Amino acid sequence: MIHQTRTNLLLLREKAKSVVGSVGILKGRRQALIRELLETSRPLLRSREEIRRAYGRGIEELQLTLGHEGETFVASLAAAERRDLGVEILSRHALGLFYREVQVAQRPVRTPDKRGYDYRSTTPHLEEAFSRFETIVEQMLEMAAFEGKLKRLGEELLKTTRRIRVLEERILPRLRGEIRAIAQHLGEREREAFYRLKRFKGKRN
């Protein structure tokens, strides 16, 4: 129970003012997080749609390739073409938030002459299938770079929103209620003191 004194009233008013300022700062941060979240999510959404389309076309080309080249030949080429792209997981930060980002040393997409077989002896469908799936790998790695940041931004946005809600719906109403109660109590005491003083003066006269 807070003692209903003028000192405590002033302290509570300062505290309420500080809470209002904190809410303003948090709302500003929330707006910045929302802007960053939207900027990060747009290329991610585009990438997902591009991957979906590329995957569909890649499957079509692969089916044609299997029909022409045979499953055994395609499987042997796929095994021989395995390589290390030099994927690294790096730490980054945005708006004071740390997140993980994927960095690739070597591009997955290659021209036919950079592959380890004679592309002149294969069908165009095989080259197209390889190109499609290499593009998908590249786009998925690019998406991974966005997803780590997007996840951290989303978590921080939820945390900031919860803090704002607690301050606005619980802390601030409680402080204002205590301020009203103390102000009302002090006002009643002042009125009582005024009436007592007035009555005292009346008796002396």
On the question of pLDDT at 201 being above 70, the answer is no
Partners of 100 in the β-ladder: 91
On the question of pLDDT at 191 being above 70, the answer is yes
On the question of pLDDT at 196 being above 60, the answer is yes
On the question of pLDDT at 205 being above 60, the answer is no
On the question of pLDDT at 17 being above 90, the answer is yes
Could you tell me the pLDDT band of residue 194, with boundaries at 50, 70 and 90? low
Write down all domains in the chain, each with its CATH number in brackets. Answer: 6-204 (1.10.287.3240)
| 62 closest CA partner among 52, 75, 49, 53 | 75
Q: Which of 12-21, 169-178, 195-204 has the least mean pLDDT?
A: 195-204
* Rounded CA separation 68/125 (Å): 9
Cβ atoms 125, 12 nearer than 8 A? no
- Its sign, for the CA torsion 105, 109, 113, 118, is positive
On the question of pLDDT at 170 being above 90, the answer is yes
pLDDT digits (tens, 9 = 90+) for 83-126: 777 777 777 777 777 777 777 777 888 877 777 777 777 778 88
pTM: 0.63
